Structure 1
Amino acid sequence: MFENIGWGEILVLLVAALFILGPERLPEAAAWLGRTIRQVKDFASGARDQLSRELGPEFDELRKPLQELRNLRDFDPRRAAVRTLFEDDEPKPNGFSTSSNGSSSVAPPPAFQPPPRPTPLSPGERPPIDPDAT
């Protein structure tokens, strides 16, 4: 829930609370906040347990899409690219493969072959038209 809050932000919030509430009301406010957070957690776990009891095995099926969404939230494109490119045991069609010890080897690229030259059009001949390109 508070994954993006660092120690610096917490310190700023504590100093602001000290100035706003004062030193005499700050302990009471911290105790109230702790009780409230604990109560919300108890409500959430009670609701989850009740759903689990009522739905049975269907509850696990409902949780699978949520877990997939959490995995998308934690998606790291760099790690996904590395996994896609380097964690395959089968050689790729372009000659790229990984060995069993995790090191990668790259086959040399094929020699460059220029495309064949098109034949010139005869006089009066219309050039071919690609309908997908227009």
Structure 2
Amino acid sequence: MFGLTFEKLLIVAVIAAFLIGPERLPLYAGKLRQFVRTVRDFADGAKDRMKEEMGPEFDDVDWKKLDPRQYDPRRIIREALLDDAPAPSAIKPVTQSAYAQRIAPLPPGSLPPFDAEST
């Protein structure tokens, strides 16, 4: 979790205990417990709401596939490049870009075309 190991969390907890002091430590521990409980209730409520709104399709979703930690751009590109599916024959390759076409220059003294509705 964010590169924090158990040892680092333990050191932070010991430093926090010294900074807070023994008088206020139970108060802050209670606030931390209340915060964790609130976050857990919020997450459970969101999950229940998703189940209610999605209906029976909720169980069919592969949640591991949607995990952002599974996103690896190198793997995605490798799979796309190694895809052996033939290209559809209905799509014709582009031989000349529309931007590459030569357009005749405007005669001297004439105004370029202007579309009043586009501005």
Q: TM-score, normalised by structure 2?
A: 0.49
Structure with the bigger percentage of helix = 2
Q: TM-score, normalised by structure 1?
A: 0.44
RCO greater where, 1 or 2, for CA within 8 Å and sep 6 or more?
Answer: 1
